[in-house]
Amino acid sequence: MTAYGLLFDHVATRIDPERAHHLGFRAVRAGAAVARRLGSPGEPVAALGLTFPNVLGVAAGFDKNAVGIDALGALGFGHVEVGTVTGEAQPGNPQPRLFRLPADRAVVNRMGFNNEGAEAVARRLAARAARRRDAATSGPGTGPVLGVNIGKTKVVPDEDQAAVEADYAKSTRLLAPHADYLVVNVSSPNTPGLRNLQAVEKLRPLLEHVRRTADTVTSARVPLLVKIAPDLADEDVLAVADMALAIGLDGIVATNTTISREGLVSDAADVAAIGAGGLSGRPVRERALEVTRLLRGRLGSGPTIIGVGGITTPEDARARLEAGADLLQGYTAFVYEGPLWPRRVVAGVSPG
């Protein structure tokens, strides 16, 4: 076991998970200057019309408010997907809302899109862009690719399509000008009614509206993707793929967390005591892998697939790429494996 693993198992597990996350993220930001000296690992990857420093990124949920993009890049991540950001600021669900299942190397969360809102995040991204221009550090190869993940504000009723589209449009207008790519999140289980938007008859007009909105506020086309749940039936996964081809969607992020608790080795009473929430980590691996295969088989070589869910080892990463993913993301394994994890995974999938 690594030194970080021992520290995590014997110290970090004694700290409330949400507090541990904030402390750990603060340490990442504090150590960014040292980490940056190591340089960017891996080989560049072309996807979404962009050049990614390497194949592995941070999944949405880790940096909700865009406060540590370049620090995460310094650890070796080739892209950082911030968010999920909603049109309006919201506190999220009551605490406790983040739980560990160490025996399964998994996490359950019911955060509920807690974030500072699109206006605050847009200001922060604009300030970052200004700093990078002043320091002459912007441009290809000088930092992680920036994805922005947007979701529905909780108080907006999912059955009111016009209100939903207006809510996502607000986030798009504010955030698309700062994003290298944009992701519409309709797959978190922690916002009531959100997953109903995955139905193609609701999803297609929403994505088309976001596309039109993004095009009105950007001079260059920003790639647009959708993030889907692993709990979709196979036929629904294929329907999303068909829709993506029909409307020219740039890609799909597969997959979000699951509401399933099947196959866990953790004590059933402990799992039941945690209650509702999205499960991430190793237990999601096989379904996320299968969804990736389904999507690539239907999409052909066209739209980009970002594979996420249960990727822990270089072998997991290679399997996801072989199944058809173009890019990878992690979150839960990063929590369990520590700050050297991204470099280990990237080294394990790099040629030679």
Give the CA angle between residues 257, 304, 350 to the nearest 5°.
90
Q: Is 109 among the annotated ligand-binding positions? A: yes
Count the neighbouring beta carbons within 10 Å of the beta carbon of residue 221. 11
Catalytic residue among 40, 171, 187, 188: 188
Q: In terms of Cα–Cα distance, which of 81, 121, 143 is closest to 334?
A: 81
Please enumerate in sequence order all residues whose Cβ is within 8 A of that of 216, keeping only pairs 6 or more positions apart, or say none: 173
Q: Is 172 among the annotated ligand-binding positions? A: no
Q: Is 13 among the annotated ligand-binding positions? A: no
Q: Is 188 a catalytic residue?
A: yes
Q: Is 62 among the annotated ligand-binding positions? A: yes
Q: What value does the CA radius of gyration of the chain take, rounded to a whole number of Å?
A: 19
Helix (H) or strand (E) holding 236: helix 234-247
Helix and strand element counts for the chain (H, E)? 13, 13
Q: Is 257 among the annotated ligand-binding positions? A: yes
Asked if 93 and 190 count as a contact pair (C-beta separation under 8 A), the reply is yes
Q: Please, which residues bridge with residue 85 across strands?
A: 150
Q: Is 111 among the annotated ligand-binding positions? A: yes
Asked if 130 and 149 count as a contact pair (C-beta separation under 8 A), the reply is no
Count the neighbouring beta carbons within 10 Å of the beta carbon of residue 120. 15
Q: Which residue has the tokens 């207006």?
A: 166
Could you give the CA distance from residue 281 to residue 14 in angstroms, rounded to a whole number? 20
Which residues participate in the annotated binding site for substrate?
64, 109-113, 185, 190, 256-257
Q: Which residues are catalytic?
A: 188
Which residues participate in the annotated binding site for FMN?
60-64, 84, 149, 185, 227, 255, 281, 310, 331-332
Which residues participate in the annotated binding site?
60-64, 84, 109-113, 149, 185, 190, 227, 255-257, 281, 310, 331-332
